[in-house]
A and B are shown apart, each in its own frame.
Chain A
């Protein structure tokens, strides 16, 4: 194994190396316990199957004789910083040691981390796997200390990694040196599934009142290595003999290969074409040769034509009238209650409206790439930046027809892609493996910018029908919504599909038990207005657009994207609630508060009202204007509950009616995650989500015609630029009494759209129920 060079990072005096196991000669040491000397026993069973045993605490946490600590997690960093900050804080807290004592965090690699699962909900509802592993380990340490110090466990105290009792003290390092520890951690689940393994049981956890590390803004060590150009990015991985690969993807999302272009050997003497089914790639010794050669080959390659997509202009008519919403079971939310028909009939005022959300791209700044090393002995090493390495391992093993022990996934920092690979592949990995296998050398496959727009998955388009009935006092008597969205999670590696190799099934009614690759559409947006007496929330699902028509079974492949599904359901809900408030003649924040019952829902709404300087009044504004060239201002609000965290945001906008151009001038967001683990990192996450959300709301729509996606670059798929960023105010509500920490990396990107649309209504009196709010759409809307 040619392992890339180590790049140790000096952080706060501690040497932090994320891959320092390699220094032990490339062997894996799995501790039968937490103790230093014990690791010298190599667990052969574990290393031969290229997995760690998640039941062994040493697979999660190592305490070294010098009292430094290493932790391992299958969760990578995708810019959230959680694994390098919050996880260290949580483990340090549970172990009663210092943040600095945790000097090494090993992430993602399938042969070096125990649990797998996708990189989302990293705080795991307040108890991520690593927290429980630490809590179990702490109990074992207390047992060991009682034995060594000769006092009962109840008389042991621990501070900063020093155990004391009976008048004696020793460090964790001294305590574990040469000791055996008999402890097995209970785990459940499927390693290569979406969720991976889960640590179970209920070890004692440190009371929140005793926290000293959680709540502080520790810095992310990886930021230092990134800023000083010392990080080893996935883009930097070079293996001996490695060739550069580029793909020739089919002409359309349903085209089959007719004939492959030949390489002009006079121009590209070192390039070679690889063909497997409909998969075509080019490899060459240098990157520039590969880039030029693939263009020449692509021009000369012939494909069948295909037209089977409705195209942008007809999308919602197609979804409404032609898509099959009958075959998948209809989902109903747990909170649905009451008799809808009489409640709607009794309404004094009614809102009936349809909301439409477009396809959007994950749109990483760096197009997907990976380096594969398919070796003669049948093992495959794949180097990638991936949100679910164990699931990728399973997919590659399935494609190759081998056991997972033959596949090792190594992970590196790379371009964030916001959910695209949480089910196992980002796009290039399987193609790199097939090219490497074909040429017998390591191959680096890099997608070019247009491919990343046109051959990756996307966030599915959706529409929702809402009906709201108000009583004579302006209160909501009934709320009904029907959400319609094609399948959201297609984890089939596209190269395997093109090559005609085995993959999981395309999304279908009968999805495998471990998969969420179903055509059913669940309710993703938890209801927060419990004061509404009659509620019905239904989810309707169908096949992906073009999936059944495409001869390749490809079509518009969808995938979860930041705040998946909930984005598509929260926009209709929150805009409809703002519309209902206007219909009721009520202030939009007070209207929400009046229909909420949970303290934390009311708390975030009040916080965002206070912090934004919100003026309590009815929308639209008395001075609303929908014509002219003078900018007119408005404000709107939205709210959400996601992953244990309550959110509310206020957007203040200006719009020029004549052009339809919207500027978000100020964005205020209140966040109640319960316990705030790391205020600075949470603030940065929320700011980033806010910016992405404004981008979604104002700009983003994947364009497509009858054959495929036509958005191909940053001009045809623009995202928000710095010049369009408003003043962003993040209000963190730390509520230790909640006793849990909620997620912070999602949700913020969903809140902007309904708040901006409500602000447009406030400013102009006109309601835009379709995203994105691009000038041409807003301009046309205001002319009506």
Chain B
């Protein structure tokens, strides 16, 4: 039995401690936003935040997540609400500005990579409030274990959505 903190909630799981976090989240906790892409930290579709840092859940053992705060796409609205001190009622109807931007820009094509992309965007925008296009490219290409890959070619739409989200977050909404 292991205990982990996911999206602000303490969860107990039965999986062996060497189980990759990806399968714990998807199968034990039914938090299915991180997707299996490669199992080798080469694509970013399984990304989650671990204490605010983007990691690849496909190669991160459950044991490495102990005593750390995990955030998945499901937890982005609450993360934003907490950061902004929104009321419980407001929080329940609020999306993270990154999610709003992804919708407004109609960013996903097939969308299988986009949970990881939004997680990466969250890490970036919590670090750099108003990134340049070059900084966005750097974040999604060279800052992590590998570039975040999109086979459908939504990179342009992602860059536009990150700029939009940065603007919205700067305004507090």
Contact surface of A with B, Cβ cutoff 8 Å: 78-81, 219-220, 222-224, 226-229, 231, 233, 235-236, 238, 286-288, 363-367, 413-416, 418, 446, 448-449, 680-681, 684-685, 687-692, 695, 713-715, 719-725, 728
CB distance from A122 to the nearest CB of B (A): 14
CB distance from B59 to the nearest CB of A (A): 12
CB distance from A236 to the nearest CB of B (A): 4
Set of chain B residues within 8 Å of A690, measured between Cβ atoms: 153
Set of chain B residues within 8 Å of A695, measured between Cβ atoms: 153
Cβ-closest chain B residue relative to A233? B32
Known: A288-B19, A692-B153, A723-B138. A366 touches B35 (CB 8 A): yes
Cβ-closest chain B residue relative to A721? B147
Complex CA gap A713/B43 in Å reads: 10
CB distance from A559 to the nearest CB of B (A): 16
Complex CA gap A229/B110 in Å reads: 14
B109 near A723 (CB under 8 angstroms)?
no
Cβ-closest chain A residue relative to B117? A722
CB distance from B79 to the nearest CB of A (A): 13
Complex CA gap A728/B153 in Å reads: 11
B106 near A680 (CB under 8 angstroms)?
yes
Set of chain A residues within 8 Å of B107, measured between Cβ atoms: 223, 227, 684
Interface window among B49-57, B81-89, B154-162: B154-162
Selected contact of A691 from candidates B20, B26, B115, B153, CB within 8 Å: B153
Selected contact of A723 from candidates B74, B95, B137, CB within 8 Å: B137
CB distance from B41 to the nearest CB of A (A): 10
Number of A-B contacts (CB under 8 A): 170
> Is B36 among interface residues, defined by CB-CB distance under 8 A?
yes
B106 near A223 (CB under 8 angstroms)?
yes
> Is B141 among interface residues, defined by CB-CB distance under 8 A?
yes
Complex CA gap A228/B148 in Å reads: 19
Set of chain A residues within 8 Å of B8, measured between Cβ atoms: none
* Interface size classification for chain B: 35 or more
CB distance from A530 to the nearest CB of B (A): 32
Could you jot down 16 A-B contacts, CB within 8 Å? A226-B114, A227-B99, A238-B27, A365-B110, A365-B150, A415-B110, A446-B36, A687-B153, A688-B152, A691-B154, A713-B38, A714-B40, A721-B141, A722-B137, A723-B142, A725-B155
Set of chain A residues within 8 Å of B146, measured between Cβ atoms: 714
B158 near A722 (CB under 8 angstroms)?
yes
B152 near A79 (CB under 8 angstroms)?
yes
Complex CA gap A227/B118 in Å reads: 9
> Is B128 among interface residues, defined by CB-CB distance under 8 A?
no
Cβ-closest chain B residue relative to A745? B109
Can you name 6 extra interface pairs (CB under 8 A) apart from A414-B110, A449-B38, A690-B153? A227-B114, A227-B118, A287-B23, A288-B15, A288-B19, A723-B142
B153 near A236 (CB under 8 angstroms)?
no
Known: A228-B99, A714-B43. A722 touches B110 (CB 8 A): no
A725 near B137 (CB under 8 angstroms)?
yes
A715 near B151 (CB under 8 angstroms)?
no
Contact surface of B with A, Cβ cutoff 8 Å: 15-16, 19-20, 23, 26-27, 32-33, 35-40, 42-43, 45, 72-74, 95, 99, 102-103, 106-115, 118, 136-138, 140-142, 146-159
Counting chain B CB atoms within 10 Å of each CB, the highest count among A416, A689, A724 belongs to: A416
Complex CA gap A515/B72 in Å reads: 44
Cβ-closest chain A residue relative to B18? A288
A714 near B42 (CB under 8 angstroms)?
yes
B35 near A233 (CB under 8 angstroms)?
yes
B153 near A689 (CB under 8 angstroms)?
yes
Set of chain B residues within 8 Å of A685, measured between Cβ atoms: 109
Selected contact of B152 from candidates A223, A288, A692, CB within 8 Å: A692
Set of chain B residues within 8 Å of A80, measured between Cβ atoms: 109
A688 near B109 (CB under 8 angstroms)?
yes
Set of chain B residues within 8 Å of A414, measured between Cβ atoms: 110, 112
Known: A365-B151, A722-B137, A728-B156. A227 touches B37 (CB 8 A): no
Known: A226-B108, A227-B103, A366-B112. A416 touches B95 (CB 8 A): no
Complex CA gap A418/B141 in Å reads: 23
Complex CA gap A324/B140 in Å reads: 46
CB distance from B65 to the nearest CB of A (A): 15
